[in-house]
Amino acid sequence: MATAQATKSTITLKGSTAIVTEFFGYAVNSILYQRGIYPPETFERKQKYGLGMLVTTDDGLKTYLVSVLQQINDWMMTRALQKLVLVVTAVGSGEVLERWVFDVEQEGVETADGKLVDAKDGSTIKPAKSEKEITGEISAIIRQITASVTFLPLLEEACTFDLLAYTDADSNVPVEWEESDARNIANGAEQVKLRSFSTAVHKVEGMVSYKSNED
Helix (H, G, I), strand (E, B) or coil at 17: helix
Dihedral angle over CA of 59, 64, 69, 75, nearest 10: 160
pLDDT computed for residue 193 by the predictor: 95
Give the CATH number for residue 165: 3.30.900.10
Tell whether 121 is covered by a domain. yes
To 10 degrees, what angle do helices 59-77 and 13-34 make?
Answer: 150
Tell whether 215 is covered by a domain. no
pLDDT computed for residue 4 by the predictor: 43
Tell whether 63 is covered by a domain. yes
Q: Whole-model pTM? A: 0.89
Mean pLDDT split into 10-residue runs, the chain, 215 residues:
46 91 97 96 97 96 96 93 95 94 88 73 72 94 92 92 88 69 82 93 94 70
Q: Which domain holds residue 164?
A: 6-169+181-210
Count H helices and E strands in the chain, helices first: 3, 11
pLDDT computed for residue 54 by the predictor: 96
Structural domains of the chain, count? 1
Tell whether 176 is covered by a domain. no
Tell whether 1 is covered by a domain. no
Tell whether 175 is covered by a domain. no
